[in-house]
Amino acid sequence: MLRQLLTLYSHVSLRTAQKIGSLLGLSAWYLQTDERRIAQINLTHCFPEMDPAERTRLAKRSLQESGKLLAEVPLVWLQPASRLSDRVYAEEGMEEIRRIKQSGKGLVLIVPHMGNWEIALSQATKVINMTVLYRPPRQRWLEEVMTLGRQATGAKTAPTNASGIKQLLAALKNGEGVAILPDQAPKKIGGSAAVFAPFFGQPAYTMTLAARLAAKTGAEVRAVHVERLPAGKGFQISLYPVDDAIYGKSTEKSVQAINAAVELCVRKCPEQYQWSYKRFQVQPDGKRSIYSRNKKPKPAN
């Protein structure tokens, strides 16, 4: 039933979907939701020098942009890619993917939580076979919609477990592409899955997977920047190289290179970053989470 409703909704225009999404974001703002609180905490944490009134405006705008993403996703997942193709501007980025595909090296796409990252994935699959790493949501119905939606774009999905990592390795060794959202904090604390690295000058617990995949396979790594254009005009997709440290032996320096690339993308249009995500949930040395409401700190090794 839900899929039928989403399919029906997916026929609305992009501009209409974005208006709906903007209203959803404003509702989240004025209803004093946890998303508003987290966005304000993150922006204070990352931009302490910014005027407080400007930070408030940025937090409000970011919720509107996140609402637009939510409203746009059914259009990306449940409609033919050709429907939005004339509103996606990605010629240079797609040409770069073609070049990497021809080299046979494999491609790791680092895709931050900004703009509409789903549109970037759907575009990349037109050029190269893609496998997308994802964390299965708690709601089973949402996982089904997410999996079917991404597969409809031509991408394969790989869960965040040992089986999924094997999938990614196999794809890269076959000269294909994989996509990872690098600013998604690992749930498991300790071990080699993540290390702390600076992000906007603050320690952020960051997964090492992209760096390990590049080291094991020799795949090329690119950061994806997706900017939503105003008034339903579409999306600008750009690819940026990651510092060569990503290919080095030092895991810490590799992860620093990843965070630096993500930060570069975010600074280009900070209002379109998902600031409502608990990016700094895990703190070093067992310090209390910056989002805590008198909860015990979550330690990390």
- Can you state the angle between helices 52-78 and 2-9, rounded to 10 degrees? 110
pLDDT reported for residue 97: 97
Q: Which portions of the chain are predicted below pLDDT 70?
A: 136-143, 187-188, 190, 294-301
pLDDT reported for residue 297: 44
Closest Cα to residue 199, out of 271, 139, 265? 265
Q: Where in the chain are the domains?
A: 87-286
Model confidence pTM above 0.85: yes
d(C-alpha 136, C-alpha 164), whole Å: 11
Side-chain half-sphere CA neighbours of 233 within 13 A: 7
- 34-46 pLDDT, tens digit per residue, is 999 999 999 999 9
Q: Please state, as a whole number, how many other Cβ atoms lie within 10 Å of the Cβ of residue 118.
A: 22
pLDDT reported for residue 50: 97
Question: What six digits make up the tokens of 248?
Answer: 């080095």
pLDDT reported for residue 188: 66
